[in-house]
């Protein structure tokens, strides 16, 4: 099912955890939160902060899909480090500035 394909698979859930740790360290993802984001389009917190969650989820879905299909179609090993690197690269290109002084994303110098 789609839940297994994108996040509940034992190979893919650690990618979500690592993606949040690397990009939004103040948020600890739970499978129910990801389920609500993807299936119900419900984000926790206020609108200003949730844009970061939506962007990170879209980057994570894109990277997981890409590497999943590389494995299926080209027998390329599903490498967690490569997936995380792609997520971080995509997120850094899309991420808006900090949500607030107590927001999810810290400003980097």
Tokens linked to 5: 């394909």
pLDDT tens-digit series, residues 49-93: 688 899 999 999 999 999 999 999 999 999 999 999 999 999 999
- Residue of 106, 96, 109, 107 whose CA lies nearest to 47: 96
Q: Where along the chain do its domains lie?
A: 2-94
- Largest distance between two CA atoms of the chain: 44
Percentage of the residues of the chain whose pLDDT score is greater than 90: 57
pLDDT tens-digit series, residues 14-58: 999 999 999 999 888 999 999 988 888 887 776 666 888 999 999
Residue 47, pLDDT score:
66
d(CA 104, CA 53): 9
d(CA 53, CA 64): 16
């Amino acid at each position: 099912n789609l839940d297994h394909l994108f996040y509940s698979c034992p190979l893919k859930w650690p990618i979500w955890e690592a993606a949040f740790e690397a990009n939004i360290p103040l948020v600890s993802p739970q499978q129910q939160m990801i389920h609500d984001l993807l299936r119900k389009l419900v984000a926790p917190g206020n609108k200003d902060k949730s844009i970061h969650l939506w962007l990170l989820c879209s980057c994570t879905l894109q990277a997981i899909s890409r590497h999943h299909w590389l494995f299926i179609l080209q027998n390329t090993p599903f490498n967690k480090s490569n997936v995380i690197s792609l997520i971080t690269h995509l997120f850094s290109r899309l991420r808006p500035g900090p949500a607030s002084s107590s927001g999810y994303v810290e400003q980097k110098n």
